Structure 1
Amino acid sequence: MPVVILVIDRYLEWKFGVPFSFAVSLLVGGLKSGSEQCTTAGAVLLAVLVVGTAL
């Protein structure tokens, strides 16, 4: 299982950059641990990255 996560992480870094990979890690980590702050930070960072590229 850790190999699959590593492959997905490397793909996200290659395709979208390090900030996108960090935001996804925050979001997934927050969901798994039940931390609302971590989940919110990841979701907001993803929204900023997605909207920033659309402008």
Structure 2
Amino acid sequence: MNPSEASSKSGTNTTTLIPPTTWQTMSGMREATRRTTFAYLVADAAAEHKSRLGLR
């Protein structure tokens, strides 16, 4: 499958099939999940870094 074919399939078709409100909700939830996951990763890395330095 060539790139242009893939982009045309995923881009226009899905957007037209799904109602705008549902689409916005889904993307909003995905964004929120990504942000919280990132926050957890940062906090986890910071805690690990502190324990390595012996600051606990």
Fold conserved between structures, TM > 0.5 = no
Larger RCO (CA under 8 A, 6+ residues apart): 1
Which structure would you say has the larger Rg? 2
TM-score bucket (shorter structure): 0.3 to 0.5
Using structure 1 for the length normalisation, give the TM-score.
Answer: 0.41
Using structure 2 for the length normalisation, give the TM-score.
Answer: 0.40
